[in-house]
Chains A and B, each alone.
Chain A
Amino acid sequence: MAHFSIPLPARRTVSIDLSRFNGIVRLLANRRVQLALMILVPILLLTTFRSVLPIAGPLETNLRAMTKAPSLEHLFGTDRMGRDIFSRTLAGIQISMFVGFAVALLSLIVGLVVGTLAGFFGGAIDRVMMTITDIFLAFPSLLLAIGLVSVMGTGMLPVVLAISLSDVPRFIRLQRSMALSLRSRAYIDAARTVKASHLWLMTRHIVPNTIASLLVAASIAAANAILVEAGLSFLGLGIMPPAPSLGNLIRDGQSYLEQAWWISTLPGAVILLIAISLHFLSDGIRQVLDPRSRK
């Protein structure tokens, strides 16, 4: 499928190299990726264009429609201040997606740089890094995040940093172990014999061979970050109300569970849906990028 020849009127042919898009094409052909995108794309479109939808704003109160059950007018119902839960959920997804993406990106970059250095050079750098990651890995992730939020305060930035700090050591470990096993491969030795610099070896020979696994880990980290952020906000330690983070929505509804079940349960179901589709995405990426699973 690598080359297509398109005959042109002037008897010349233009050859398009499709192999550059091979990865993306194969990714889109994967059933799990398709399933994930079938959930994620509509959700992302809805959240992006929520301002033009015919729904009330996420913070808009309406005293004539307090604690209304789900209906066509209010898809997810309203809370006790008459705020539209569907609109708040869409706004919450935006916050969640941002947190998930920021955490995944931050962990990926730090993990890639530090892990490559530690694995490639070994020795003292490696030992120091491993001791430090050991210390961070000694905390259960949510508890580390709680501890860090207690120091840094609540809000978007502290939450992103707190969640990232528990993910970064895992990324460093992953990248380090891959770099460690790659650095003694024959092709690296071959590159060394032609005096390739350390930087060249790392950027041209190590990173391209490890990035796939890191991407898989990153999409799981994103799903996980969304769950942890919701957990923190639910405990009142994350993003502060009235910002409609999904955790805050569920927390709001907790005391009205009996009278208004929809306030908590529907936003929670959306979190679940997003987490599942991100896991499908990571599964799909793994299937496509893992050379052993190629047919």
Chain B
Amino acid sequence: MLVYSLKRFAQLFTTVLGVVTLVFFTMRMIPGDPISAIAGDNLSGEALDRMRSQMGLDAPLFVQYLNYLGHLATFDFGNTVTTKLPIIGLILGALPVTVSIAVGTIVLTVLISIPLGTLAAFTAHKGHRMLDNAITGVAMVLDLMPSFWTSLVCLLIFSLTLGWFPASGTVSIDDPAHLLRRIALPVLVLSMAQVATLARITRTSVLEVLSEDYVRTARSMGWSELRVLFRHALKNAALPIVTVIGLSFGNLLNGTVIVEFIFTLPGIGNLLVGGMNSRDYQMVQTLIVFYALIFVAINFATDLIYRVFDPRVQF
């Protein structure tokens, strides 16, 4: 186990290094250097040169790369171009909003899709295809709805027409009740997209378990269907479900960018879109690396959980 974790960690480290390297050199391919982007046409050649040497941009590319790695290791991501604030501060400030959306979405998704998937599997197992087909069909449509469109439709129905949730307004982590009202719709929208995958995998794994010998044995012992379902079927189907939650995290991150933009929530997705629009490449670069790190870390954790809890997986 320990050897496996270390090996997997080494692999993770290579990937992260690759990500950072890729982002660094890709960003340097942008025509014109960051200084001209900051200064525009206002500064003379001499002032530009001074700024370049201040920021270490006159050093050879490889030295710049090493400097960049050094800064990353100490979480120094530099300052934003427009407001001169440290980027890491902005990210940490915005992170709670994004994390609450992500966590809320995962909770709601699990609450909806596991009962739904189990129900579909159960009815399919009993030979009632109608309900099973209906659930599978609805799940597919939900899966394919573009989240920005769903957001607008929900905004139109629940905020503008029914007035249940505020469409805009400030968000603060110190006011949980208000925060909850503001992120309710985004969480609903993202869950709708996630439910499909999770319900589908729940259906498949529960259906598989339901035809196992030990489930038949449990039934033949006279236990109620519910007890068989919970004690045997769901328990054994849990592992693939957990794995899929981890694996669909990438989609979830994609979705947070969109909903934060539409519902004007000050999370890191909004920082990213803002950075793109103000051509703050330093910011964009940092955030892309940051997202990749989160994604890779979650995948790593999912893999480890899978291996710890599945006694069949050998090391």
- Chain A interface residues toward B at CB < 8 A: 131-132, 134-135, 138-144, 146-151, 223, 227, 230-231, 234-237, 247, 250, 253-254, 257-258, 261, 264-265, 268-269, 271-272, 275-276, 279
Minimal Cβ-Cβ distance residue in A for B144: A275
Minimal Cβ-Cβ distance residue in A for B280: A150
| Residue of B29, B146, B276 with highest tally of chain A CB at under 10 A | B146
A143-B140 CB under 8 A given contacts A150-B281, A257-B152, A264-B152: no
Partner of B153, one of A227, A258, A265: A265
Q: How far is the CA of A131 from the CA of B140 in the complex (A)?
A: 33
Q: How far is the CA of A223 from the CA of B145 in the complex (A)?
A: 11
Minimal Cβ-Cβ distance residue in B for A141: B254
Report the minimal beta-carbon distance from B152 to chain A, rounded to whole angstroms: 5
Report the minimal beta-carbon distance from B250 to chain A, rounded to whole angstroms: 4
Report the minimal beta-carbon distance from A169 to chain B, rounded to whole angstroms: 12
List, in ascending order, chain B residues with CB within 8 A of A230's CB: 146, 148
List, in ascending order, chain A residues with CB within 8 A of B277's CB: 236
A131-B145 CB under 8 A given contacts A151-B26, A279-B140: no
Report the minimal beta-carbon distance from B7 to chain A, rounded to whole angstroms: 14
15 additional contacts (CB under 8 A) given A139-B291, A237-B276 = A131-B15, A134-B15, A138-B16, A139-B19, A140-B295, A144-B288, A147-B26, A148-B26, A151-B27, A227-B146, A231-B148, A235-B276, A247-B148, A264-B149, A276-B144
| Residue contacts A-B, CB under 8 angstroms, 8 given | A135-B19, A142-B258, A235-B276, A261-B156, A268-B152, A268-B153, A272-B145, A276-B141
Report the minimal beta-carbon distance from B295 to chain A, rounded to whole angstroms: 6
Q: How far is the CA of A146 from the CA of B26 in the complex (A)?
A: 13
List, in ascending order, chain A residues with CB within 8 A of B29's CB: 151
Q: How far is the CA of A239 from the CA of B155 in the complex (A)?
A: 25
Q: How far is the CA of A237 from the CA of B278 in the complex (A)?
A: 12
Quick check: A258 and B160 within 8 Å, CB to CB? yes
| Residue of A142, A236, A269, A272 with highest tally of chain B CB at under 10 A | A142
List, in ascending order, chain B residues with CB within 8 A of A223's CB: 144
Minimal Cβ-Cβ distance residue in A for B167: A257
Report the minimal beta-carbon distance from A70 to chain B, rounded to whole angstroms: 15
Quick check: B254 and A140 within 8 Å, CB to CB? yes
Partner of B254, one of A143, A234, A269: A143
Quick check: A143 and B257 within 8 Å, CB to CB? yes
Quick check: A147 and B23 within 8 Å, CB to CB? yes
Minimal Cβ-Cβ distance residue in B for A270: B149
Minimal Cβ-Cβ distance residue in A for B273: A235
Quick check: A138 and B156 within 8 Å, CB to CB? no
What is the 8 Å Cβ interface bit string for chain B, positions 238-266, against chain A (1 contact, 0 not)? 00000000000011011001100110000
List, in ascending order, chain B residues with CB within 8 A of A264's CB: 149, 152
Quick check: B14 and A235 within 8 Å, CB to CB? no
- Chain B interface residues toward A at CB < 8 A: 11, 14-16, 18-19, 22-23, 26-27, 29-30, 140-141, 144-149, 152-153, 155-156, 160, 250-251, 253-254, 257-258, 261-262, 272-273, 276-277, 281, 284-285, 288, 291-292, 295-296
Report the minimal beta-carbon distance from B81 to chain A, rounded to whole angstroms: 13
Minimal Cβ-Cβ distance residue in A for B152: A264
Quick check: B156 and A140 within 8 Å, CB to CB? no
Q: How far is the CA of A140 from the CA of B292 in the complex (A)?
A: 7
User: Taking chain B's interface residues, is the majority helix, strand, or loop, or is none over half, making it mixed?
Assistant: helix
Minimal Cβ-Cβ distance residue in A for B299: A138
Quick check: A272 and B19 within 8 Å, CB to CB? no
A257-B156 CB under 8 A given contacts A139-B288, A231-B258, A236-B277: yes
Minimal Cβ-Cβ distance residue in B for A142: B254
Report the minimal beta-carbon distance from B150 to chain A, rounded to whole angstroms: 8
Minimal Cβ-Cβ distance residue in A for B19: A138
Quick check: A146 and B276 within 8 Å, CB to CB? yes
Q: Which 4 pairs show the lowest CB-CB distances between chains A and B? A: A268-B149, A135-B18, A142-B254, A140-B250
Quick check: A272 and B149 within 8 Å, CB to CB? yes
Quick check: A143 and B288 within 8 Å, CB to CB? yes
List, in ascending order, chain A residues with CB within 8 A of B251's CB: 140
Quick check: A250 and B149 within 8 Å, CB to CB? yes
Minimal Cβ-Cβ distance residue in B for A233: B148
Q: How far is the CA of A163 from the CA of B165 in the complex (A)?
A: 34
A271-B160 CB under 8 A given contacts A140-B251, A236-B277: no
Partner of B18, one of A131, A148, A237: A131
Quick check: B140 and A276 within 8 Å, CB to CB? yes
Partner of A143, one of B18, B27, B291: B291
Quick check: A135 and B273 within 8 Å, CB to CB? no
List, in ascending order, chain B residues with CB within 8 A of A234's CB: 148, 258
Report the minimal beta-carbon distance from B197 to chain A, rounded to whole angstroms: 13
Quick check: A265 and B152 within 8 Å, CB to CB? yes
Q: How far is the CA of A53 from the CA of B141 in the complex (A)?
A: 30
Quick check: A265 and B149 within 8 Å, CB to CB? yes
A279-B291 CB under 8 A given contacts A258-B160, A272-B149: no
List, in ascending order, chain B residues with CB within 8 A of A275's CB: 144, 146
Report the minimal beta-carbon distance from A132 to chain B, rounded to whole angstroms: 8
